[in-house]
Amino acid sequence: AQSVTQLDSQVPVFEEAPVELRCNYSSSVSVYLFWYVQYPNQGLQLLLKYLSGSTLVKGINGFEAEFNKSQTSFHLRKPSVHISDTAEYFCAVSQRTGNQFYFGTGTSLTVIP
């Protein structure tokens, strides 16, 4: 079975500052990794995904994430956040066979003006 740990439940950060949201996973098999964003009162939207290839993945809205196999991590970063980035961020993992997703508990990012 897979599990996903998002170490920070809440992250406040000032506007235009950099941010890193941490995600670690446990799995005995190869996985695919995802970050989703949930704006208030909305559904989840895919930010980026790692399937294979380059370990640095770029997504929408200036976000990027780096897959680190040895540390089983997939941290999300943005060099300069905006007020509009305030949202809940979910890390997810799925096995390469089968299509069941396992989500982390989410990180609430609050951008302070």
**CB of residue 100 vs another protein: minimum separation in angstroms?**
6
Integer angstrom CA distances of residue 64 from 49, 60, 67, 108: 9, 8, 10, 17
CA–CA distance, 90 with 43 (Å, rounded to integer): 12
Could you give the string, one character per residue 48-77, with x where binding to another protein holds by CB under 8 A and - elsewhere?
Answer: -x-x--------------------------
Piece of 17-25, 54-62, 78-86, 87-95 that binds another protein (CB under 8 A): 87-95
Tell me how long the chain is: 113
- Residue numbers of the site for another protein (CB under 8 A)? 32, 34, 36, 38, 41-46, 49, 51, 88, 90, 94, 96, 99-101, 103, 105-106, 108
